[in-house]
Amino acid sequence: MTINKDMEAKILRYHFVEKWRTGTIATQLGIHHSVVDRVLSQAGLPKVERTERTSILTPYLPFIIQTLETYPTLTAVRLYEMAKQRGYPGGPSQFRHRISELRPRKQPEAYLRLKSLPGEQAQVDWGHFGHLQIGQAKRALMAYVMVLSWSRQIFLQFYVNQQTASFLRGQVAAFEAFNGVPKVCLFDNMKTAVLERNGSAIRFHPALLDLSSHYHFEPRAAAPARGNEKGRVERAIRYIRDNFFAGRHYSSLEDLNAQADEWCKGTSAERRCPEDPQLSVGEAFLQEQPGLLALPDNPFDTREHVVVRAQKTPYVRFDSNDYSVPHQHVQTSLTVNACLKEVRIISGTNVIATHLRSFSKGEQIENEAHVNALWLMKTNAKQHRAQDRLCQISSHAQPLLQHIIDRGHALKGAVNRLNQLLDDYGATELHQAMGEAIEKNAPYVEGVAQILEYRRERRQQPPPIAVSVPNKVKQYCVKPANLTQYDALSTPLCQPSCPVGDFA
């Protein structure tokens, strides 16, 4: 128990002036008698030795001490059962408390402070920074951190997972940011770096070995439970939490990474360098950078290569989303080649589809040409495709069509009419008009059309031009006509054989 100076002065005054005994002082001040003994002994008085009262546990102490010396990690519950079998009459609470005092303490381990030369080593680790909502997906927000051990220069990049592809992208981006490669990269025992280890025998991930061969650095794994070996990157992650991420606002992952890059080059680089307090981290990095290994001419390929299979529908599943492919490739194995921005689908050596990558979940990313090609082949799917087109552009389409069915109207005609309105007015206008029709309790096609016309007149825009193109146009062969008869009509029928006056 810690007491203030005022309490110590009262204890000394009551003892030396009022001649109170230790127990009286403790009772009046509401403290334990051991606190009074400690204050008096610090004042130079001999420590009071009190006789320890005999406990019901005393006869069992030799057995307990001997057992703990043989089995130091034996639990108090098991020791209590063993003592009860030997006649111990007490309860478990006091027994456990006494065992905690008797259990031998492990000698704390001392660590050496490790030094590193400029350009010699970098330390790498992941940090978890909550979650990021992207569409329907809740993705883990992971920070990839690399720290140069001598200058303490930090590279920080955020990803939505800590898979092998993100790990490789972080490595390559860090090397490019430093414009060089450290001779040794020290990793924690993460699965993307270390597949398994048995003591000093370590099996690294094949992708990491390919990366190290390309950039000529040596991968090393930190020893388990040795925080001093990778303390620089762990302190850097704590520094990032407190001085960068806390209270930070960002609109997207790209915005967060842009702020992280600016922070690493600015605020983070302006702090004092622990290796040389006369230098800032940025100044120390300028001295360390020439000692890094040179970058190779071509960067390492960090694109994801995943073998997928198109099933009965012309889509392949990649990273929880479906991407369309030409319908000729259903029931075949394909390869997805993806980066952070783009997804390419390959059959053999040919790229058959290219899409923007989505990090949402359950999305259906389509190329209109893929679906339309299949649509033209399957005339029975026309009605379903028309409904799906409406549902893709508006969340009001499904409730509106359900109201139309409940009112007993023909669904096919309503779907065709709504698709025509979609072509005439556009997706945004139709979405707002359908929502307004449902809100005003007018959920039928003509109500939607009237709302669209009213909105168009209010904007003083001309009406849309109706263009009707048949779904299927047959190839007719037109036989050219003989125009010689028309040529005969253009010539005079006869020439006059006598003067006009003879007819008089």
For domain 121-291, give its CATH number from 3.40.50.80, 3.90.1150.10, 1.10.357.10, 3.30.420.10.
3.30.420.10
> What is the distance, to the nearest Å, from the Cα of residue 291 to the centroid of all Cα atoms in its chain?
34
CA–CA distance, 151 with 350 (Å, rounded to integer): 47
The tokens of 96 are what? 């456990």
Report the DSSP beta bridge partners of residue 323. Answer: 316, 365
Model pLDDT, residue 267? 92
What is the pLDDT, as a whole number, of residue 454? Answer: 87
Buried-state track 255-282, b at ≥16 Cβ within 10 A, e below 16: ebbebbeebbeeebbeeebebeeeebbb
Phi, psi for residue 32 in degrees, rounded to 5: -80, 150
Please state the φ and ψ torsions of residue 30, each to the nearest 5 degrees: 70, 35
Give SS3 for 276.
Answer: coil
Q: What is the CA 371 to chain-centroid distance, rounded? A: 31
Q: Which two tokens stand for residue 209?
A: 């070995």
* d(C-alpha 164, C-alpha 401), whole Å: 46
Residue 280, SS3 per DSSP? strand
The reported pLDDT for the residue numbered 242 is 93
194 near 174, Cβ under 8 Å? no
- Secondary structure element (H or E) that encloses residue 173, with its range: helix 164-178
Main-chain dihedrals φ then ψ at residue 361, nearest 5 degrees? -135, 135
Give the separation between CA 170 and CA 146, rounded to whole angstroms: 9
Amino acid at position 375, single letter: W
Q: In the prediction, which pLDDT does 498 show?
A: 46
DSSP E strand stretches across 456-495 = none
Q: Which whole-number Å values give the CA distances from 31 to 5, 34, 378, in the listed order?
A: 14, 8, 89
Could you list the mean pLDDT of each consecutive 10-residue stretch along the chain, which spans 504 residues? 85 89 89 87 74 77 88 89 90 85 72 76 94 91 94 95 93 95 91 85 92 94 73 92 93 94 94 89 94 93 92 92 92 93 92 93 88 68 71 86 82 85 88 89 87 87 68 56 69 51 40
Residues with Cβ within 8 Å of residue 390, at least 6 apart in sequence: 397, 401, 415, 418, 419, 422
Residues in the chain: 504
Residue 207 has what pLDDT?
A: 93
Nearest CA to 159 out of 142, 177, 147, 173 is that of 142
Whole-model pTM: value is: 0.60
Write the DSSP assignment of 308-321 as a string of letters: EE--SSSEEEETTE
